[in-house]
Amino acid sequence: MLTKDIPTKGSLLISEPFMSDPNFKRSVVLITEHSLEGSVGYILNQKSDYILKDVIPDCWDANFQVYYGGPVATDTLHFIHNCPGKIPNGQDLGNGLFWGGDFEPLKLQINNYNIKDEEIKFFIGYSGWSKDQLDDELALNSWMVSKKYNSEMIFDEDSYDLWKEAVANMGVKYAHIVNFPEDPALN
């Protein structure tokens, strides 16, 4: 296994460089729940074709990018944030990050222009693993687990380089991985 860490809420799953699953190729997933029953997370670096006002008409001027959180329940909207004082009842993920919260106060904050891009990230769908599924994928070296990251990178608009940044943050042992080609046959 590339790393012996066990995922916990607030940790990152970083796909191995040659993962062939198109849903998770070069992805970074923030884990929001990990238990014996399964795991839930959101892909941080796959932008969708939507902005928030496309998805929630009540937020008429909300130009927040919406990301593809994963292949499960793609008709649902989720969010993470770093502003619990503005959005009550979010679940603390550690590292200054929160998952969800009360949606009506959130819409009011958005419509009053009190939420900034660097404070929140929205997702259509989520990534989910049933009991033992993620553990099996970790045993197959499909993922690296990281608890070492700067929470500011979670909200960075430049999602293209997030995978490289997350791998580099794991330390010198993993630094060479960032330069691996996406398709080893082209090397």
Asked whether residue 166 is assigned to any structural domain, the reply reads: yes
5 part of a folded domain: no
Residue 2 has pLDDT above 90, yes or no: no
Q: Does residue 1 lie in a domain region?
A: no
In a domain, residue 86? The reply is: yes
Domain of 23 in residue numbering reads as 12-186
* Cα 81 from Cα 106, distance rounded (Å): 11
- Residue 1 scores a pLDDT above 60: no
121-144 confidence digits (pLDDT tens):
999 999 999 999 999 999 999 999
Contact 10, 104 (CB under 8 A): no
Q: What is the pLDDT of residue 181?
A: 67
Ramachandran quadrant class, 10 (left: phi over 0; alpha: psi -120 to 50; beta: rest) = left
Q: How many domains does the chain have?
A: 1
| Residue-level pLDDT at 186 | 59
Residue 136, helix vs strand vs coil: helix
| Structural domain contains residue 113 | yes
pLDDT band at 82 (very low <50, low <70, confident <90, very high): very high
Residue 24 lies in a domain: yes
Q: Model-level pTM? A: 0.93
- Give the whole-angstrom CA distance, residue 159 versus residue 161: 6
Residue 2 within a domain = no
More confident residue, 1 or 101: 101
Once rounded to an integer, what is the mean pLDDT over residues 20-34?
94
Please report where in the chains the tokens 């929205």 appear, as a residue.
122
CATH code (residue 70): 3.40.1740.10
Residue 122 contacts residue 79 (beta carbons within 8 Å): yes
Assigned domain for 29 exists = yes
